[in-house]
Structures are given as C-alpha cells and as structure tokens.
C-alpha cells in the first residue's frame, strides 16, 4: 500500500514538473512586440467679426444737406455699411438681420430699390477664409406712410421720436 501511495505521489510530481516545463518553454519562446504611434493636428481658429458698429443711429447716416446734422425729416434717406470679416481657418456661413427700435416709418433695402421693414431684411451667404464682405444697407423715411404722424412729428406736439437699428450677424462654420 505504501508503494502505491508513493507511486501515485511520484506520478503527480512528475506531471506537475512536466507541466511547469511545458508552460515555461511556451512563455519563454513566445515573441511579443509593442509599437506606439503618436498623432498631432493643428486646431483651426474661428475668428469672425462685424465692423465696430453694433447700434446705428440713423439720424447720423443721412445723405442730405437740407436738414441739420443729426436730424431727419420725412422723405430723407441714408445708408450704412456692414463690414463682415472672416479671419478664421474655416469657411463660414453668415446671416445678417436688422432689429429696429423706432416709432417713425423707416424702410430698408439691400439694393437701394426694393424697400421693406427691418424685420424683413436678411442677407445670407458664405464668406471665404481670410475674406471681408461689405454689405450696404439703405434706409428711407417712408414719405407715403401716415402723413398725420409726420405732421405731428414735425410740429413736435407729441412724444419724442427716435430710430435706432441694431445689426446682428450669425456666423457658422461650413461642415
């Protein structure tokens, strides 16, 4: 019986040693390698702008010498320029809008022919990399609008009258 136990223990030891030998030769004979790559990319800048005018006082953009500077009267007109810049590294879309704060009948145009209200004026397009675009915006006091109001304004009998326009431009990167 003792002989059988030793024989069994011997077999187990031999099997264990053989397993270690096989495992260690497999581990030592296996080739491994590791390689790494690094990538680098420059980030494109996004730098766009509009000329320094954000709020336009229409009374100072007239093309008439018949009225005191800083004043307007029915039938007068004028213009101002929106200067869009794209100093970015990407192509951009732009959308120009006007927001008017006025209690006199002012109309606007992008071609100095077709005049509409401020909320109807929009200009959209693309602006190339490192490009500037000038958009002329024309305005006029609609002389055909409520003539009674024009007379009241001229006589100074009612409230104060004003006309201020805010220019906003939204820029988006072209995908």
| 65-85: pLDDT as tens digits | 677 766 777 778 888 888 898
pLDDT at residue 87 tops 80:
yes
Which pLDDT band, with edges at 50, 70 and 90, does 95 fall under?
Answer: very high
With a cut of 60, say whether residue 149 has pLDDT above it. no
* 25 lies in some domain: no
Does 31 map to a domain?
Answer: no
- Structural domain includes residue 11: no
Does a structural domain hold residue 21? no
The verdict on residue 33 lying in a domain is no
Average pLDDT estimate for 106-116? 92
The three state secondary structure string of 4-50 is: HHHHHHHHHHHHHHHHHHHHHHHHHHCCCCCCCCCCCCCCCCCCEEE
Tell me the whole-structure pTM to 2 decimals.
0.67
Q: Does 172 or 61 have the greater pLDDT score?
A: 172
Does residue 29 sit within a domain? no
Specify the number of domains making up the chain. 1
Higher pLDDT pick, 12 / 124:
124
Range of the domain at 110: 48-144+154-173
Residue 154 has pLDDT above 70, yes or no: no
35 belongs to a structural domain = no
158: left (phi > 0), else alpha (psi -120 to 50), else beta? beta
pLDDT at 116: 92
Domain with residue 124: its CATH number is: 2.60.40
């Amino acid at each position: 019986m003792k002989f059988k136990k030793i024989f069994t223990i011997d077999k187990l030891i031999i099997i264990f040693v053989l397993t270690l030998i096989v495992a260690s030769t497999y581990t030592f004979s296996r080739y491994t390698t590791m390689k790494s790559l690094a990538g680098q990319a420059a980030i494109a800048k996004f730098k766009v702008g509009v000329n320094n005018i954000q709020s336009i006082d229409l009374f100072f953009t007239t093309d008439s010498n018949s009225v005191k500077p800083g004043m307007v009267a029915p039938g007068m007109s004028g213009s101002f320029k929106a200067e869009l810049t794209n100093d970015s590294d990407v192509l951009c879309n732009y959308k120009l809008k006007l927001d008017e704060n006025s209690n006199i009948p002012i109309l606007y145009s992008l071609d100095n022919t077709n005049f509409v209200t401020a909320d109807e004026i929009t200009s959209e397009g693309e602006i190339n990399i490192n490009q500037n675009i000038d958009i002329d915006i024309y305005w006029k006091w609609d002389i055909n609008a409520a003539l009674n109001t024009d007379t009241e304004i001229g006589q100074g009998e009612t409230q104060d009258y004003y006309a201020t326009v805010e220019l906003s431009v939204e820029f988006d990167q072209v995908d």
